[in-house]
Structure 1
Amino acid sequence: MSVDAIMHTEFPEGYTVFFGADGKVILTPRSFEHSSTIKTILYHAIVSLGLHAKTASDVYIDFPADENSAPDLAILREDASREGKRYSFEDVLLIAEVVSLSSARKDYDDCTAKYGRHSIPVYLIIDPYAAEVVVHTLPTGDGYIAAHTHKYGTGKLPIELADGRTFTLDLDELPRPEAD
């Protein structure tokens, strides 16, 4: 897709648009719950790790074999530095993906395999619809050895990062979908 075509395209409201280096255009639906959940996770990253902690939300991170990814939230090593315009997957300590109605299979299956394969130390799946957080640790070549599920409303969840810091997510503060 040319730059001119992109500039004159009206993308549907409520979607985030990603443009891949390979020319792919990816439309991802966003809900209020999705946006609020990312904001809540980012708030807890700031409270836990400090205002200047290296975090990224919906920002491409370079993975090998052109498997670039723009996770909902990533916490990076303090000494991480960009290679060109992006950070490397090797700088990532934690990735959090927030489940939307259309992304459940991707978040639970595809991303679990991908992030494990690339040795991301902690992968969180935050599911507002199931009201739970799944914490994956101990990455392997095809996923993770450990997965622990924590229900919303069960207090503070401390998560140890590979650099010795602790990210604490308050499960009482995660937003739930509003009833239709």
Structure 2
Amino acid sequence: MAAPTTEGAAAKVITTLQSLEHSSTIRSMGRHAKVTSDVYVEFPAGENSAPDLAILREDAQKRGKRYSFEDVLLIAEVVSVSSARKDYDDSTAQYGCYGIPVHVVVDPYAAEVVVHTQPTGTGHIAAHTHKYGTGKLPIDLAAGRTFTLDLDELPRPEPETGAR
């Protein structure tokens, strides 16, 4: 399977696994990268987040179990049935407010990826939707780096079988 890559200087990739859909999607997104899980990102005013996947600056330093939001280049959230509103609305507003340059929402149920860029005090100005199965998606990061997500390799939820 082709794996997502970060080109240019190295970056730290952080993931948090929560469910079957989450874990298979996040593994697909972070394959062949230096991946750490269960790491929190600390935001001002005591707000903390454990994003599904985060790409941090190469020189990011952990403070206890947390990294600073200032070290984040990209945060990706994988939608689950119970988290859709949070992943699409709440997280986009929070990450934009704190200047996270790229927020990616991966929705296995809609088979699409939404890339939010140009953060503002209330969210992100730009949002571009990409359908699963449309090839490689290069996502520009700071300092000339690129994170490439293979939209052909993202897993889809298993169809539900009838109850017995």
Compute the TM-score of the two structures, normalised by the length of structure 1: 0.76
Distance 1:96 1:104 in 2: 13
Contact 2:39 2:65 in 1 (8 A): no
Compute the TM-score of the two structures, normalised by the length of structure 2: 0.83
Displacement after TM superposition at 1:56 (Å): 4.4
How many equivalent pairs are there? Answer: 144
The alignment's C-alpha RMSD in Å is 1.5
Instruction: Answer yes or no: is 1:161 the counterpart of 2:117.
Output: no
User: Greater relative contact order: 1 or 2 (C-alpha under 8 angstroms, separation 6 or more)?
Assistant: 2
Q: Which runs of 5+ in 1 are unaligned?
A: 1-28
- The percentage of aligned residue pairs carrying the same residue is 76
Question: Of residues 78, 83, 103 in structure 2, which corresponds to 1:103?
Answer: 83
Matches within 5 A, 1:1-180: 30-43=18-31, 46=33, 51=34, 55-180=35-160
Distance 2:144 2:100 in 1: 15
Displacement after TM superposition at 1:57 (Å): 3.6
The corresponding residue for 2:12 is none
Residue 128 to residue 171, structure 1, CA distance change in 2 (3 Å): same
Displacement after TM superposition at 1:84 (Å): 3.6
Q: What one-letter code is carried by the residue in structure 2 that aligns with 1:31?
A: S
Q: Which runs of 5+ in 2 are unaligned?
A: 1-16
Structure 1 stretch displaced more, 55-64 or 99-108: 55-64
Render the CA deviation track for 1:96-155: whole Å, top value 9, x for unaligned. 000000000000000000000000000000000000000000000000000000000000
The corresponding residue for 2:5 is none
